[in-house]
Each structure stands twice: as structure tokens, then as C-alpha cells.
């Protein structure tokens, strides 16, 4: 009888944890070509995605990039991003990224039923402006980033603040890079929509066209990850006190300097065993880049995020 009771309790607890809400899209959208790598590539992404993921990578290659992207998820508000990176005109590389939403945020307390569940998949963020600076010392780069974030707390009160992060990149061998970074290490009163994120990554490039990446990411959880129907269960509260730990493997392949294919898979090592994956195909021609990325951030839920992005590289 005890064994049966324990089995029922275990099954019920697993069902509750499986109902954890999806991570809001803009929290994991670093920008640029990192989307096709499932937000991996912290040791290889050197454009717009480096501003938040690892600012040291801004100085890894010389470029002047303008970028715009638009994301429409199957649940939650649509997200748009605008940004620019300049690592050519000065010894200090710089990048700026703006993230916003097309519509206003609906708090889960203001709706019921299916609308309440959908509200947990959305973000309480209104806007985010991220700035990154980096300097390169031959085969070693360091960087710092900061973000101004504006959003709503769980009690629906508006708040804003500034966060700070750091990054480093080492290239011990040609085409082999190691990287480490922390985003929002100082996040104070805005940690509900600017969680602290640690990243460690490695990247290896072969034949000037094929790149392999391996990343480890550890992130504070955010309120929207709680299940709407079991908001205050002890299992949920215990899980929310833990940080998500995720391993990501990804790769990209450039075909005839024209088509860029990218893909990435991630798995978390906690009770939710969260699985995520993404892929993208892009056209790169004459300093112009146009791409489409599809990401499934949570295998346990039938939800997807579509993204179209365009970049223009200016020759100076």
C-alpha cells in the first residue's frame, strides 16, 4: 500500500513539474545569428548576439553591422530587436541592442482560463537596451556589458534598473576558442525579468566553413516558469529556488560563401529535464544577410518561436 501511495505521489509531483511555464522569449533571445544556434555559441558568435552572451566576442572580428529581427511565438507577445556593432572604427569594439514588444503585457492575475495560462508564457519586460564594449589583446579579449531594463514586477508595479555583466575569450590555438561570461551579475530589483546567467563555451572552426560549439549555461529562474494551476505547491517553490543548468551543442556550416545553415540542441539537468532545439537557414551575399530561424524552447509544450532577421555589413 505504501509503495502504491509513493508511486501516486511521485507521478503527481512529476505532473506538476512538467506543467512548468515556458521561459519568456525575449529572456533567451540574445539577438543576431545566435538564434539559429539555440542561443549557444558563446565562443563563436561575434556580432549582435555577443552583446549579451559574451561582450568579449565583439572584438574577435572586425565588422560594422546593422541588424533587425522580428520574432513571433505561437504563444505570447511578438518581439522585435534592433542593433548595431562597430569593431572596425576604433580599438574598442562596441555594440548596442534594443529589445521591445509590439503589444502591451497582460498580467496573469488579470485573466482566467486559457488566457491565464498563455500569460505565463509571456514576458513582463517592456523594453531592454543592452550596450557592450570589448578590447582585444592579440589572442585574448575582454568585455563588459550593461543593460537598462524596464518592466513589471509580480505585484504589477512598474520598475526599471541597470544590470552589469562581463566576458572573456581566449584563442589558445588557431580556430579554437574558449569563452566565459556572466550576464546581469548585478541585477538588483529587476532580476524578475533580467535573470543572472553564467556561460562557459568552446568553439572549433574547420575548413573556414564548419564551426562546432559546446556551451554550459546556468540561469536564475523567472516568475513565468511557474505553472499557473499549481503556483504555490512546495515542489514548484523548491524548483524555483534552483538555477537552471543547461548544456547546448550547436554547429553552423557556410556553403559556398552564400548559404549559412545553423542548428543547436539543449538539455537542462534538473527535475524538468527541459529540452530545446533551434535551426536556421540564411542567405549571405554582398554584405547582406537575410535569415529565418525556428526554435522550440520547450519540447514538453507544442510551442515554437519563428524569427526573421536581416543584417547589413558596412565596408569602411
Residue carrying the nine cell digits 522585435: 80
For the chain, what percent of residues have pLDDT higher than 70? 84
Residue that wins the pLDDT comparison between 63 and 51 = 51
**Average pLDDT of the residues in 236-264:** 86
* Distances, alpha carbon 310 to alpha carbons 28, 110, 286, 297, in Å: 19, 36, 13, 22
Residue 230: how many CA atoms within 13 Å on its side-chain side?
20
Q: pLDDT class for 11, splitting at 50, 70, 90?
A: very low
Per-residue CA distances from 179 to 148, 169, 207 (Å): 24, 4, 21
Instruction: Give the up-direction half-sphere exposure of residue 228: CA atoms within 13 A in the CB hemisphere.
Output: 18
How far is CA 117 from its chain centroid? 22
| β-strand partners of 291 | 282, 309
208 is written with which cell numbers? 573556414
* Domain architecture of the chain: domains with CATH: 2-313 (2.40.160.40)
Tens-place pLDDT, residues 12-28 = 344 444 445 567 777 77
Question: What pLDDT digit, counting tens, does each position of 107-122 carry?
Answer: 777 777 667 666 767 7
CB 141 within 8 A of CB 44: no
Q: Give the pLDDT band (50/70/90) at residue 225.
A: confident
pLDDT at 56 over 90: yes
pLDDT reported for residue 116: 67
- Please name the residue ranges forming H helices in 163-223: none
**Calpha distance 174→262 (Å, rounded):** 22
In the chain, where do the E strands start and end? 64-73, 79-86, 92-101, 125-137, 140-152, 158-173, 176-186, 197-206, 210-219, 244-255, 259-268, 275-285, 288-296, 305-313
pLDDT for 201 beyond 90: yes
Helix locations, 215-316, DSSP H: 234-240
Amino acid at each position: 500500500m505504501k509503495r502504491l501511495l509513493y508511486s501516486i505521489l511521485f507521478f503527481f509531483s512529476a505532473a506538476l513539474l512538467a506543467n512548468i511555464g515556458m521561459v519568456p522569449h525575449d529572456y533567451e533571445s540574445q539577438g543576431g545569428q545566435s538564434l539559429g544556434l539555440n542561443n549557444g555559441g558563446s565562443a563563436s558568435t561575434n556580432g549582435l548576439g555577443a552583446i549579451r552572451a559574451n561582450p568579449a566576442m565583439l572584438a574577435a572580428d572586425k565588422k560594422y553591422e546593422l541588424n533587425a529581427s522580428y520574432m513571433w511565438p505561437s504563444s505570447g507577445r511578438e518581439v522585435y530587436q534592433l542593433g548595431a556593432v562597430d569593431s572596425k572604427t576604433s580599438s574598442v569594439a562596441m555594440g548596442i541592442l534594443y529589445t521591445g514588444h509590439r503589444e502591451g503585457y497582460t498580467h496573469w492575475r488579470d485573466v482566467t482560463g486559457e488566457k491565464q495560462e498563455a500569460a505565463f508564457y509571456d514576458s513582463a519586460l517592456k523594453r531592454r537596451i543592452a550596450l557592450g564594449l570589448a578590447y582585444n589583446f592579440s589572442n585574448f579579449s575582454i568585455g563588459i556589458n550593461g543593460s537598462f531594463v524596464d518592466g513589471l514586477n509580480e505585484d504589477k508595479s512598474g520598475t526599471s534598473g541597470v544590470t552589469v555583466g562581463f566576458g572573456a575569450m581566449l584563442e589558445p590555438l588557431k580556430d579554437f576558442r574558449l569563452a566565459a561570461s556572466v550576464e546581469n551579475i548585478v541585477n538588483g530589483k529587476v532580476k524578475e525579468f533580467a535573470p543572472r546567467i553564467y556561460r562557459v563555451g568552446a568553439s572549433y572552426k574547420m575548413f573556414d566553413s564548419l564551426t562546432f560549439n559546446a556551451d554550459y549555461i546556468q540561469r536564475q529562474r523567472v516568475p513565468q516558469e511557474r505553472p499557473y494551476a499549481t503556483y504555490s505547491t512546495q515542489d514548484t517553490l523548491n524548483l524555483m529556488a534552483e538555477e537552471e543548468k543547461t548544456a547546448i551543442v550547436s554547429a553552423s556550416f557556410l556553403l559556398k560563401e552564400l548559404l549559412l545553415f545553423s542548428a543547436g540542441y539543449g538539455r537542462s539537468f534538473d527535475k524538468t529535464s527541459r529540452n530545446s532545439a533551434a535551426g536556421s537557414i540564411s542567405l549571405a551575399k554582398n554584405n547582406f544577410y537575410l535569415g529565418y530561424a525556428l526554435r522550440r524552447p520547450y519540447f514538453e509544450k507544442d510551442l515554437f518561436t519563428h524569427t526573421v532577421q536581416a543584417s547589413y555589413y558596412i565596408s569602411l
